[in-house]
């Protein structure tokens, strides 16, 4: 392999790893965790990010997607139901 080929493959791998990373960011799972995972084992990162549960939840009043820890909706400013106990599943 020439240096150009190695650089070319490195660029392809770096770009492919962005796919699971962006999906992970959308699901609030951690962009860099899945980017590094994608660099090491791309198909594994893709499967993991697709099967993992979305950690976002929706405001019950305006349906805005909000952070799981939020106590006030950033859009409609209404108080949200009290925090779910640690470890509890958040249904979306």
Residues that bind Zn ion (CB under 5 A): 59, 61-62, 64, 73, 75-76
Number of alpha carbons in the 13 Å side-chain half-sphere of residue 8: 5
Q: For Zn ion, give the closer residue by CB, 44 or 68.
A: 68
- Three-state DSSP class for residue 28: coil
The residues near 14 (Cβ < 8 Å, ≥ 6 apart) are 39
Q: For Zn ion, give the closer residue by CB, 13 or 76.
A: 76
Q: In whole angstroms, how close is the CB of 68 to Zn ion at the nearest point?
A: 14
Q: In whole angstroms, how close is the CB of 81 to Zn ion at the nearest point?
A: 12
- Cross-strand partners of 79: 72
Q: For Zn ion, give the closer residue by CB, 49 or 57.
A: 57
């Amino acid at each position: 392999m020439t240096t150009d080929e190695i650089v070319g493959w490195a660029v392809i791998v770096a770009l492919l790893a962005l796919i699971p990373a962006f999906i992970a960011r959308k699901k609030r799972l951690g962009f860099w965790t899945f980017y590094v995972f994608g660099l090491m084992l791309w198909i594994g990162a893709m499967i993991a990010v697709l099967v993992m549960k979305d950690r976002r939840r929706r405001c019950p009043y305006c349906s805005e997607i909000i952070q799981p820890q939020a106590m006030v909706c950033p859009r409609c400013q209404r108080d949200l139901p009290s925090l779910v106990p640690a470890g509890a599943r958040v249904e979306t």
